[in-house]
């Protein structure tokens, strides 16, 4: 039977997910956004140039500004930013079908509570299984049908595999996981490290420094994941290492560009920073590191730079002169 899919959130990533899922006709897909005028324009023009310039949206994709349309969906993807997911659960939860699965597609941690988004959504939507999607996938690549692989994690492997089969296409492959903790932390923490790599590039510190940040940053991510009940091997997969390499090396990465701007001295409150997930995740990750007594010097340095209590040059010096340890 053909799946019924609703994607809530008409930004670049949500639109890209809706487009790739609708492209092959394996699912009936509706993209849901709050702006009725925008949704009407997307339906008429089949383009969302503000988010995905030059991309034609599939004829089979439908659009709506009405929350009620999700009541027909077997799978509902929440594709709004991480800090908006709790409110979205309250707004759209009453319209979910009784058996609907909810997939969180944000790569972040709830800033107020420092809880994983799956925990927040399960509290708001106790009668629905909550899955998480994360991994190396830029919206533009996904929407253009370029080969992309990501991780889809659920509370059980059986559910993750079922959902991965329903949502995978010829160009969008999902790998199933039952480690929601590791998958979510990989998606959130790599944004912080991508900011650090942007600073390295902006300061002209060289590719060797970037490689060091990626490798040592991966060690930090793995330590925190294990401390919180996840698995280190998850962080060596798509949602950890794969996503980290992508966002730490490509200028498509909003987090990398934010780090570059910080290196130019533009300040942490620069225009557009509210859309940079790593800018929120840095302080949250630093608090988690302290709570779980996990050593995360790169993450903590990024958090201090963003809050203005440390400058980049001092941070580099502190990292390079730390006591010698084994790798």
145 burial via Cβ count (<10 Å: 0-12, 13-18, 19+):
middle
Q: List the beta bridge partners of residue 31.
A: 7, 63
Element spanning 133, H or E: strand 130-134
325 burial via Cβ count (<10 Å: 0-12, 13-18, 19+):
exposed
Query: How many angstroms separate the Cα of 173 from the Cα of each of 15, 100, 163, 211, 315?
Result: 17, 21, 12, 27, 39
The residues annotated with a catalytic role in the active site are: 190
With H, G, I as helix, E, B as strand and everything else as coil, classify residue 268. Answer: coil
Query: How many angstroms separate the Cα of 145 from the Cα of each of 21, 58, 133?
Result: 10, 11, 18
How many angstroms separate the CA atoms of 256 and 200, rounded? 10
How many angstroms separate the CA atoms of 322 and 327, rounded? 13
Contacts of 236 (CB under 8 A, 6+ apart): 218, 222
């Amino acid at each position: 039977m053909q799946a019924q899919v609703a994607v809530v959130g008409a930004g670049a990533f949500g639109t890209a997910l809706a487009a790739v899922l609708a492209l092959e006709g394996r699912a009936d897909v509706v993209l849901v956004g709050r702006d009725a005028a925008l949704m009407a324009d997307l339906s008429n023009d089949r383009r969302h140039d503000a988010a995905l310039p030059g991309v034609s949206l599939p004829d089979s994709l439908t659009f709506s500004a009405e929350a009620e349309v999700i009541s027909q969906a077997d799978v509902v993807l929440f594709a709004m930013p991480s800090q908006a997911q709790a409110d979205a659960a309250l707004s759209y939860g009453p319209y979910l079908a009784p058996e609907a699965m909810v997939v969180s597609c944000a790569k972040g941690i709830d800033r107020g509570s420092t809880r994983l988004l799956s925990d927040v959504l399960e509290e708001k939507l106790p009668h629905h299984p909550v899955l998480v999607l994360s991994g190396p996938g830029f919206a533009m690549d996904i929407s253009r049908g370029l080969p992309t692989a990501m991780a889809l994690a659920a509370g059980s492997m059986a559910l993750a595999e079922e959902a991965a089969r329903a949502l995978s296409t010829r160009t969008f492959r999902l790998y199933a996981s039952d480690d929601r903790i590791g998958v979510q932390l990989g998606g959130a923490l790599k944004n912080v490290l991508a900011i650090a790599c942007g600073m390295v590039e902006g300061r002209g510190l060289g590719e060797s420094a970037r490689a060091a940040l990626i490798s040592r940053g991966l060690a930090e991510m793995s330590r925190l994941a294990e401390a919180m009940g996840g698995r280190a091997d998850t962080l060596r997969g798509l949602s950890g290492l794969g996503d980290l390499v992508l966002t730490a090396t490509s200028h498509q990465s909003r987090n990398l560009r934010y780090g570059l701007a910080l290196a130019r001295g533009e300040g942490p409150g620069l225009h557009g920073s509210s859309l940079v997930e790593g800018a929120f995740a840095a302080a949250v990750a630093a608090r988690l590191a302290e709570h779980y007594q996990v050593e995360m010097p790169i993450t903590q340095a990024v958090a201090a730079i963003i809050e203005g209590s440390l400058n980049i040059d001092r941070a580099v010096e502190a990292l390079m002169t730390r006591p010698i340890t084994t790798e």
